[in-house]
Structure 1
Amino acid sequence: MEFISNRARKGRGARRVSVLAAAATAFALVATGCATGSTGDSTDGAAADGDLSITFIPKQLNNPYTDVVLGGGKDGAKQAGFASTQVVGPLEASASSQVSFINAETQAGTNVIVIAANDPDAVGPALQEARDAGAKIVAFDSDTNPKYRDVFISQVVAKDVALIQTKLISEQIGGKGEIAILSATANATNQNEWIKFMEEELASNPDYKDIKLVAKVYGDDDDTKSFQEAQGLLQAYPNLKGIISPTTVGIAATARYLSTSDYKGKVMLTGLGLPNEMRPFVKDGTVTAFALWDPAQLGYVAAYAGKALVDGDITGKEGDTFTAGDMGERTVGKDGIVIVGPPTTFDKNNIDEYDF
């Protein structure tokens, strides 16, 4: 299922420079004691009166996947005409870690807040205060409770993400055996929805009748904890045949562990990963295939959705349409959801075509 556009492939160089600059800024601020879990990053400085401002609040900073999403978001915000683009957020993904950042943006009078929620409800009251103060709320990547936002920019149809991962693990383990799931945080909206569809598919599809899901563990999108959880799974389940990790941090950490262990080539691994991180593990045979979408496009469309909300072109109701720059026209679906596109499978035959 090919999805990633030529623009997404060829335009990544600029985005990667932007991402590296943002990461360097974040490190410098934290190292000098000038920030506590916030980049304070701005593309054009503070917005003057009457100028539009947009702030992105990811699940956590210093996450390779998030960096790519934010790079696309900054590109989109600039092209959409925002005068000020900020990135703020926690260094660790936890249920309530984003609340203080939302409150600060409300006080600052930010026009658009774009958030990937660590917990769908914990951020709710703070988002409602922001909306009451006039801000438009765009959820992306991981949804809030729908009543607290205007639209949700979703990577793909959630069920499609689940189906492609169950299909890949089934192919890799020969359609039978024990598998486990290594997820991000226990409350992550997107992860839990994908896992729900995976469980339903495993239970209802006769092609998967000989596959048994024996465990679900959570690495909290932390590299060290994910690595340890992978170790724990293999120690606790000696007959384990495969692991699905629907998180870029988790799949990379698990691949790193498998690549230097006796389980390499014996325990299969798939999930959602970044091609640049997973390339060496595909090349050395640790991983056969995995999936993802172009994360930059997620941030890019989110920025344009925010502009459309501010301009009054959309309200978030089903059937609303807006133009998302190079990504073309987008339609708001049921429950205020905007779909970016289907996932792509990466393997040794195509992984070198992608650079993100």
Structure 2
Amino acid sequence: MARPRLIRLLIATGLTVGLVASCGGTTKNAEQSSGGTASSKAADPNAAMKKGRKVGFLPKEIDNPYEKIIDDGGIGAIRELAGEGKEVGPSDASAASQVSYINTLIQQKQDAIVIAANDPNAVAPALKDAMSKGIAVVTFDSDAAPDARQVFVNQAESEEIGRSQVRLVAKQIGGKGKIAILSATPNATNQNTWIGFMKDELRKPEYKDIELAKVAYGDDDDQKSFQETQGLLQSIPDLKGIIAPTTVGISAAARYISSSPYKGKISLTGLGTPNQMRQFIKDGTVTEFALWDPNELGYLAGYAAAALASGQITGKQGETLKAGKLGDRKIGKNGEIILGPPTVFTSANIDQYNF
């Protein structure tokens, strides 16, 4: 008689476990679908932009001049919308450091967090925690895992950024020779995406005489980028060009080259701000480089954060973001909003820009 009772007990226990497992799975899936690129709640484009919203801007590192320009643009947008914006962040470009700031912003009950992620996955759990507590999450410049934010404000089409860097350096070195890439951190989402497109561009027949000799990492640190530039030039004697798709890296590399015997012999291009690079364009160290307006990038991210926090958008593809002076912007696949194409700076136009 004990066995039938035991069997009934096991069946009942199994059903209970199955139900618990099913509920656990359902809850997990529901959490995943409510986060990420779009909320399950419908957007109301006509909702009022709520005043007094608090938005925290978290750059890769607080001392990065480029990131400071972006955050200033974003804070300006939030003030324009009668909200409160502030910049907080680590002094080093590490994901672990960013996580502690995300947790602090959650504790402070910010309405939105705008972040340039140092690592797409390392910051994801903390960002998901923020979203679960009703905090809107926007990434800019360098994306996080798509299910850990609602909107990614991209400075330009990633493919065009990567391929255009190869076109610039190829023109400067006459289509042949060894080149190197001086990147930021090894896990930086934007850098790795651009480098992927650079490598793909180099596979085209027209670049058959160009060899990518090395990818080096300066960790978005001025001194390390300076030293990495020195190391590249000393370890690859026949190096013809360097691409530095990081504002910290290109300015540090230009500073080293400008006072070295390599000036005039090595081509340097990449992504930099006009104010950082003006002297190196003027003295002939660099002939051309590219970038977008980082202040406008931050401004767009600020409007996205405020619109999310007010319920005007959710991050769903096809929605329209009303972005103040930048006009209406359509939200694309995976919650991506594009600022616009980069500008190429040369001696002919660099004095027209001040950022």
Return the TM-score normalized by structure 2: 0.85
Query: 1:166 — aligned with what?
Result: 166
Show CA shifts across 1:257-307 (max 9, x none).
000111001010000011011011111110010000000011000110011
Structure 1 equivalent of residue 281 of structure 2: 282
Partner of residue 70, structure 1 = 71
The DSSP-based 3-state class of the residue aligned with 1:287 is coil
Q: Does 1:146 align with 2:146?
A: yes
Give 1:95 deviation, angstroms: 2.4
SS in 1 for 2:96: coil
Q: CA deviation at 1:80?
A: 2.3
2:118 matched residue in structure 1: 118
Which amino acid letter does the alignment assign opposite residue 264 of structure 2? G
Question: 2:95 is paired with a residue of what secondary structure?
Answer: coil
Which amino acid is 1:355 matched to?
N
SS for the counterpart of 1:276 is helix
Superposition pairs of residues 22-171 of structure 1, within 5 angstroms: 51-82=52-83, 84-171=84-171
Q: Distance between the aligned counterparts of 2:70 and 2:194, measured in 1?
A: 19
Kept in 1, the 8 Å contact 2:70–2:297? The answer is yes
**Deviations for 1:90-116, whole angstroms, at most 9, x for unmatched residues?**
000012110011001111111000000
Query: How far did residue 77 of structure 1 move?
Result: 0.9
- Match of 2:66, as an amino acid? Y
Residue pair 1:251, 1:271 contacting (<8 A) in 2 also: yes
> In structure 2, what is the equivalent of residue 13 of structure 1?
none
Letter of the 1:88 counterpart: V
Structure 2 counterpart of 1:78, which letter?
R
Three-state SS of the structure 2 residue aligned to 1:119 is coil
1:216 correspondence with 2:215? yes
Q: Corresponding residue for 1:345?
A: 344
Shift of 1:240: 0.1
Query: How far did residue 153 of structure 1 move?
Result: 0.2
Kept in 2: contact 1:184–1:191 (CA 8 A): yes
Q: Write out the 4+ residue segments of structure 1 that deviate beyond 3 Å after TM superposition.
A: none
Look up the equivalent residue of 1:101 and give its one-letter code. Y
* TM-score, scaled relative to structure 1: 0.85
CA contact (8 A) 2:51 2:82 kept: no
Q: Distance in 1 between matches of 2:307 and 2:85?
A: 16
Going from structure 1 to structure 2, the CA distance change for 1:250 and 1:258 (only over 3 Å counts) comes to: same
Deviation at 1:71, TM superposition (A): 1.4
* CA deviation map 1:205-246 (0-9, x unaligned): 221111000000000000000000000001110000000000
AA matched with 1:209:
K
Residue 69 of structure 2 aligns with an amino acid whose one-letter code is V
Q: Shift of residue 50 of structure 1? A: 8.2
- Partner SS state of residue 322, structure 1: strand
Supply the AA of the counterpart residue of 2:286: V
- Cα pair 1:60 1:90 within 8 Å, conserved: yes
Larger radius of gyration: 2
1: CA distance between counterparts of 2:71 and 2:258? 30
Distance 2:221 2:229 in 1: 12
Partner of 2:329: 330
| SS of residue matched to 1:96 | helix
Cα distance in 2 for residues equivalent to 1:81 and 1:341: 26
> Residue 291 of structure 1 aligns to a residue in which SS?
strand
Give, in whole Å, the separation in 2 of the partners of 1:137 and 1:159. Answer: 24
Deviations 1:281-339 (A, max 9, x none): 11111001000000001100011001111121111010010111100001100010000
Gaps of 5+ in 2: 1-49
2:270 is the counterpart of 1:260: no
Give the match for residue 200 of structure 1: 200
Amino acid at match of 1:75: G
Tell me, in whole angstroms, the C-alpha distance in 1 between the residues paired with 2:305 and 2:283. 42
SS in structure 1 of the partner of residue 164 of structure 2: helix
Letter in 2 for 1:123: V
Cα deviation 1:37-62 (Å, max 9, x = unaligned):
xxxxxxxxxxxx98310000000011
Q: How many residues align?
A: 306
* Counterpart contact for 1:158–1:193, Cα < 8 Å: yes
- Are 1:294 and 2:296 counterparts? no
- Give, in whole Å, the separation in 2 of the partners of 1:285 and 1:51: 49
Q: Which residue of 2 aligns with 1:9?
A: none
Q: State how far apart, in whole Å, the 1-side matches of 2:326 and 2:319 are.
A: 16
CA RMSD of aligned residues (A): 1.1
Note the residue ranges of structure 1 that are not aligned, 5 or more in a row: 1-48
- 1:256 maps to amino acid: R
Contact 1:137 1:151 in 2 (8 A): yes
Matched residues in 1 for 2:113 and 2:95: separation?
18
Aligned to 1:33: none
Which whole-Å CA distance do the structure 1 matches of 2:65 and 2:298 have between them? Answer: 14
Q: Give the letter for the 1:348 counterpart.
A: S
Q: Which shifted more, 342-351 or 205-214?
A: 205-214
Contact 1:95-1:122 within 8 A present in 2 as well:
yes
Match in the other structure for 1:308: 307
Q: Which residue of structure 1 aligns with residue 269 of structure 2?
A: 270
Contact in 1 for aligned 2:51/2:81 (Cα 8 Å): no
Q: State the match for 1:15 in structure 2.
A: none
- Rounded to whole Å, the distance in 2 between the matches of 1:176 and 1:261 is 23
Shift of 1:81: 2.6
